[in-house]
Amino acid sequence: MTFTTKELAALSSGELIGDPTLKITGAASLSEAAPGDISFFTDRKFVSLLRKTRASAIFVPPGCAEPISATQIRVSNPTKSFEEVLLKFAPKPVTFAPGVHQSAVIDPTVQLGQRVSIQPLAVIDAGARIGDDTIIGAGSYVGHETIIGAACRIYPNVTIRERSRIGSRVIIHSGAVIGADGFGFEMVDGRQQKIQQVGIVQIDDDVEIGANTTVDRARFGRTWIQQGVKIDNLVQIAHNVVIGKNSVIVAQSGISGSTRVGERVMMGGQVGIVGHLEIADGSMIAAQSGITKNLPGGVWFGSPAVPFSEAKQQIAWIHRLGKLFARVKEIEKKLGL
């Protein structure tokens, strides 16, 4: 497939600076692009890549003043415009025909919507309901009385345990476990006794959950992932946690039981949060931070986490300690100590 830069500018409602007849045959990052490719530029920290790229054309933000030889297409959102073009060059998405594979095990009481696709070796237990246009991947398990909404994509080898509630347009990647027992034990007569976990997991519309992520069922009530939340791979969500709308949680983070995370919270990789806390709307937590108290908003970093400006000052102090020790040693030497 080939486009001219004029056609791509029209497609993205962009302003073309350069040759309108230039032919574009592919899309790639600035570092990997070759002649004939289109790329994109959004952040000044990548300006060195912009100057060295071999891309023939580049999506850039309005008012980009960087002198480059490539043809420019100025758009309000270069990342999104590039994605739209990339999809035109990409292979067609894999599709699955509606129907139930003969090797799948479906209880007679299961209710299947229209155009549902159940892939090989999937198991769906009694009382479950699957909405229209949903795909249940090979080897996945859907437990008793679980409800899954319309247009969901459940990838192979996902486990969704009993009585879970999944909204519409939810994506759950391979290896995820939804609704495992919360980690609850109590010492009785010198032994750890299991506390029964009788609640559910509720996942609202337009949520995406990464591979090998776990969302535990509530001890009672619900563990609740609200609308539009995006969760990366290898994340642990404990029992009775609430994640507010449109929050983002990055890989290897862990949230302990009964913590409430507000809306639009951004959480970097390997963040750890102790239980029974409240994280205010719009909070940003940098990677590898440890959260031990309620957060009122703002940007936080460190373990235990502190406001980002304070964390930067502490890091600067630590980096100066070597010079400080040397100065003290020199002073002690002069004083004969």
Catalytic site positions: 239
- With helix as H, strand as E and coil as C, how does the chain read? CCEEHHHHHHHCCCEEECCCCCEECEECCCCCCCCCEEEECCCHHHHHHHHHCCCCEEEECCCCCCCCCCEEEECCCHHHHHHHHHHHHCCCCCCCCCEECCCCEECCCCEECCCCEECCCCEECCCCEECCCCEECCCCEECCCCEECCCCEECCCCEECCCCEECCCCEECCCCEEEECCCCEEEECCEEEECCCCCEEEECCCCEECCCCEEECCCCCEEEECCCCEECCCCEECCCCEECCCCEECCCCEECCCCEECCCCEECCCCEECCCCEECCCCEECCCCEECCCECCCEEEECCEEEHHHHHHHHHHHHHHHHHHHHHHHHHHHHCC
